[in-house]
Structure 1
């Protein structure tokens, strides 16, 4: 595509072709793609640093059919990812949007690598047939690489500490932004301003489940700029909202504010009836809906023999996945003992006494461990098929238990509904001229089940690129993006 030119006879007076609101993965990718198509771009960031919540991420990116998979002899494709993604979410994602994500996230990972993002390994993203989690050096490293690329593009400008107050709209078309008394007129505006995890009032209105963890537990991993601006700015435009109530929550004990995402295979988790209800080594993406379905508190339980064996740096080998960048451990003897002293971990000489302390039926809890210990002795978990080599009996007193909650909030995924080209849709399902959205600022791309590590970054980077390309293409009066969405879904 050639450089975008404004008709000399046009009455439209603009300061910049494309305004991008937000500088996380979605915003940075959108800016680079719009500029590559010939547009001038302004990135408006509300905080005093670039990167938003993206800079705090682990940096895994879910993708299929990449050269990095091929180098390890892994055969995969966007079609396979699409079938997995849609089935996992019971087709509660618009198929065209899901198709776009699954087909383009692989090429996007390669595009990121071409822009200086190092891919340092492959990990399982979730419960998938082949590893799809592409590890980087972390969110900040990805941001740094993209910002470095942007610094080499003179047609991209950046404005920090500029939280957008409102969108400028004329005759139904978004034509810029306002920050206080200052107005910037543009021909296209891309919402890439993150989710609403840092705004309790917005959570109450649009995504209340995280608040059930309790104020003294809930921990949002993102940046303070995640205030729900994508919703706030578009409410006057009568947009459709998609993904209401959707978020990604990780279950942990209340041991500290650091990520330790997966449980060691020896931990036994029971519900408020004192019964196991799933494979404790399951990916956190699967854990969330299963735990919510219990409808009550859940607890992690183990015995003294397991405690004594839980030396520092011992848990990594007993997890389904040890995510890169996680350096602190919950389930080690120094931390366990400290939490016993703090009253966070309960201890009793008998299973019956432990049951009383955590408020579950004693007979049920005793029965659970009679059955579980039998599984350990036989070397097979005939109930939930947990890997037997990591199972340990719960038989040596004293016994320990601590409550677990879904309190580590990774992201929210409610926002203006977009089509497969990242155009924002109004209540009549019409694309709002001049308005696009990507990443957490959009809704409907992530389904009710988080597909696994890297699902959010795949969304942000892929649809950031799509939004940038579409905005530039629409400025040239192209009816559609050059690449068609898959015709056969």
Structure 2
């Protein structure tokens, strides 16, 4: 292991990778395996980034694990699902490359030593289960990648180094700078993760979070995240994906993540009416709730509260995701939220409606119809699983506000093409610059395709970026380096 000292700074490397999450380490490994000398630069004191905190689910279609489970799936079907889910508001060639390479990415990461559960996970909206789940979650993937990184002789590691700026010569990226020290390279890969931990950037790039004072990032506060926007500004990179990312609809009970709501809740909008199946997958919930103004209400009764225990909550949840606590909808948690005023209580539904500021007649009528359906075990409006419906008829009655508040990831950054090359505002690649993972824009659309969209993106486009960066380095081998031109240090981002 080394840091950016004078010896390293004085010598050229073929490829520099900035960021050491799944995308960055995948890029470094692929570039090194192609013979490139790689410098992996990480701003924190350890490798892994926010990838360490993920649930470790990777989306893919047409894999050997699917075939072993008797599933006939194909990248063509995933491509159609992906594009339709996003109303074709993503670049088709970028998505096509992603889905085509995913089966090979799955085999690659498994051959490296990552273990996968035999049972596949479905996000609910898929025609076939595509979630390939790692028992040790994101940390296991990071641990495996780290072991290979450390034993790869072509990779040098620099920790606790915050890159200040890119070094550019004649419009081509030629390296990075940290303070006064410069490292030259034939190609640079940016894999710096997301920026949700930096509230200073929300208004410009994540306005839904800026408008919601209750929003929070699952990975905690990282005031230094989001440096990529300053890094790519001098090369006129086009920023794509504003307000895109992974959002989860939750109550303001605690900071424990929960991907799905229990089916015994009734969710109404500000007009007091139901508008969706309460067990709708989280990736589909996002645009539905945005259309309601990102402020809706969960309604339940005393009988449901008394029955809210870990077994009943898990049974009434769409899918059992590994490592995701289900502490929001347990009676002790609800009682604590009542004491804090986060859950409203009323003896009648009309009184509850008044507290919420919704039309009482609408709420009462909505619950009456819901109760009729619950007794018949058939949701006549939204086709929710009737077995998970329970009447809301035993007072007192309860309600709490739900919002898209939990930010699982962001998907905004410099746009890339299907070769992971960063694009300028004129849609031409910025010579020498690649990006992958959360910091790149254009791979993940407005609709987050569940069951591991993010890990699929990070691993696959990390590999693509690494391979192409190494190829560029080979193509330019032997070119005499010219004097570095410093593009100037941008203003540092602080929280």
Q: How many residues align?
A: 464
Deviation at 1:312, TM superposition (A): 3.0
2:321 corresponds in structure 1 to 323
Is 1:16 equivalent to 2:13 in the alignment? yes
| Runs of 5+ consecutive residues of structure 1 not aligned to the other structure | 1-12, 479-489
1:4 corresponds in structure 2 to none
| Runs of 5+ consecutive residues of structure 2 not aligned to the other structure | 1-9, 477-495
Is 1:282 equivalent to 2:280 in the alignment? yes
Query: What is the aligned counterpart of 1:222 among 212, 219, 224?
Result: 219
Query: Residues 278-317 of structure 1 correspond to what in structure 2 (within 5 A)?
Result: 278-295=276-293, 297-317=295-315
Is 1:177 equivalent to 2:176 in the alignment? yes
Question: Given the superposition, is the C-alpha separation of residues 126 and 110 from structure 1 closer, same or farther in structure 2, using an over 3 Å criterion?
Answer: farther
Greater than 6 Å deviation, 4+ residue runs = none
SS at match of 2:26: helix
Is 1:475 equivalent to 2:473 in the alignment? yes
1:79 corresponds in structure 2 to 76
Alpha-carbon deviations, 1:41-68, whole Å to 9, x = none? 1111011111111111111111111111
Q: What is the CA–CA distance in structure 2 between the aligned matches of 1:315 and 1:247, rounded to whole Å?
A: 27
Query: Residues 102-121 of structure 1 correspond to what in structure 2 (within 5 A)?
Result: 102-120=99-117, 121=119
Contact 1:78–1:103, Cα closer than 8 Å, also in 2: yes
SS at match of 1:315: helix
2:420 corresponds in structure 1 to 422
Alpha-carbon deviations, 1:376-417, whole Å to 9, x = none? 122211100000000000011111111111110111111111
Question: Given the superposition, is the C-alpha separation of residues 358 and 347 from structure 1 closer, same or farther in structure 2, using an over 3 Å criterion?
Answer: same
Q: What is the CA–CA distance in structure 2 between the aligned matches of 1:444 and 1:226, rounded to whole Å?
A: 23
1:196 corresponds in structure 2 to 195
SS at match of 1:54: helix
Deviates more, 1:264-273 or 1:303-312: 303-312
1:88 corresponds in structure 2 to 85
Alpha-carbon deviations, 1:236-262, whole Å to 9, x = none? 111111112212211101111111210
1:54 corresponds in structure 2 to 51
1:240 corresponds in structure 2 to 238
2:488 corresponds in structure 1 to none
Question: Given the superposition, is the C-alpha separation of residues 420 and 225 from structure 1 closer, same or farther in structure 2, using an over 3 Å criterion?
Answer: farther
SS at match of 2:312: coil
2:165 corresponds in structure 1 to 166
Deviation at 1:295, TM superposition (A): 1.9
Deviation at 1:473, TM superposition (A): 1.6
Q: What is the CA–CA distance in structure 2 between the aligned matches of 1:284 and 1:153, rounded to whole Å?
A: 39
Query: Residues 128-147 of structure 1 correspond to what in structure 2 (within 5 A)?
Result: 128-136=126-134, 137-147=136-146
1:487 corresponds in structure 2 to none
Query: What is the aligned counterpart of 1:34 among 25, 31, 52?
Result: 31
Alpha-carbon deviations, 1:267-300, whole Å to 9, x = none? 1101111110001101101001100001252111
Query: What is the aligned counterpart of 2:336 among 335, 338, 355?
Result: 338
Contact 1:314–1:332, Cα closer than 8 Å, also in 2: no
Q: What is the CA–CA distance in structure 1 between the aligned matches of 2:284 and 2:210, rounded to whole Å?
A: 20
Deviates more, 1:466-475 or 1:312-321: 312-321
Q: What is the CA–CA distance in structure 1 between the aligned matches of 2:219 and 2:436, rounded to whole Å?
A: 17
SS at match of 2:79: helix
SS at match of 1:176: strand
TM-score by length of structure 2 reads 0.92
Q: What is the CA–CA distance in structure 2 between the aligned matches of 1:409 and 1:474, rounded to whole Å?
A: 36
1:451 corresponds in structure 2 to 449
Q: What is the CA–CA distance in structure 1 between the aligned matches of 2:411 and 2:99, rounded to whole Å?
A: 17
Question: Given the superposition, is the C-alpha separation of residues 361 and 313 from structure 1 closer, same or farther in structure 2, using an over 3 Å criterion?
Answer: same
Q: What is the CA–CA distance in structure 1 between the aligned matches of 2:124 and 2:38, rounded to whole Å?
A: 36
SS at match of 1:291: helix
Question: Given the superposition, is the C-alpha separation of residues 388 and 226 from structure 1 closer, same or farther in structure 2, using an over 3 Å criterion?
Answer: farther
